[in-house]
Structure 1
Amino acid sequence: MIELPMPVREAFDATNAGDLERFTAAFADDGVLDDWGREFRGRDEIARWSREESIGVHQTFEVTESRVIGDDVIVTADVGGEGFNGPSTFTFRLDADGRHIERMAITA
């Protein structure tokens, strides 16, 4: 199993389990999710995004690689489900205490 910081692992595990509340709890209260330039701020907007484009379409993630560059945790995962399918890159920045995701950006 690829080692990931706790909130990053929690976000992937929660999505795979279809657990929206657990997914949004991995984010800081004022966290940001950037999906190819579309930003969703705060847990309510992140939950809306997930209902429409992630957990709501039964998205799954299989992490294939992880690396740390500076303050960023960069994860490559194969995405499955009823929406987008294929490899994606996720760049995470954690809050100061490392307990929550401050920013998650999804790119190619």
Structure 2
Amino acid sequence: MIQLPDSVKTYFDASNMEHLDSFLAAFNDDAYVFDFNRDFKGIEAIRNWSKTDIFGVHVRFEITDATEQDGVYAVIASLDGDFDKTNLPSPLYLKHTFKLAGGKIKELQVSLP
């Protein structure tokens, strides 16, 4: 597995430790998050998304694979938490695709692997 940039590591570590401020500090102020069919632009929208979809349900990530191509980082992680798991595979894996600018997350796309 490749060495991940600090902002990408922080995204997962801060999520697992439930440190919202550290989580948000990994993003540029004008970052985008594309979480399946939902878009969140800017740090306040990302704060609201993360409060409900990550911190509010105590998501825990375990990275299982990571690759880098042309400065884009793709991370596969299993996740668990206090969310409705009806009809979801177990374990549940998500792909997080990160684009960075200035060492911080500029764009994040969350999808199925």
TM norm structure 1: 0.92
- Asked whether 1:89 is paired with 2:95, we answer yes
Contact kept, 8 Å, 1:72 with 1:92, in 2: the verdict is yes
Whole-angstrom distance in 1 between the partners of 2:100 and 2:34: 14
Counterpart code for 1:36: F
- Aligned residue number for residue 101 of structure 1: 105
Counterpart code for 2:4: L
- Flag the structure with larger Rg: 2
Instruction: Give the drift of 1:2.
Output: 5.8
| Identity %, equivalent residues | 34
Question: Which secondary structure does the structure 2 equivalent of 1:54 belong to?
Answer: helix
Whole-angstrom distance in 1 between the partners of 2:107 and 2:24: 12
1:7-46 equivalence runs, <5 A: 7-46=7-46
CA RMSD, 1 decimal: 1.5
Counterpart code for 2:109: A
Query: Cα deviation per residue 1:13-56 (whole Å; 9 max; x = unaligned)?
Result: 00000011111110001001110031111111001001111111
Counterpart code for 1:106: V
Structure 2 unmatched runs, 5+ = 86-90
- Asked whether 1:56 is paired with 2:56, we answer yes
Runs ≥4 in structure 1, deviation > 6 angstroms? none
- Aligned residue number for residue 74 of structure 2: 74
Whole-angstrom distance in 2 between the partners of 1:3 and 1:86: 23
Instruction: Give the drift of 1:82.
Output: 1.1
Instruction: Give the drift of 1:65.
Output: 0.4
Question: Which secondary structure does the structure 1 equivalent of 2:3 belong to?
Answer: coil
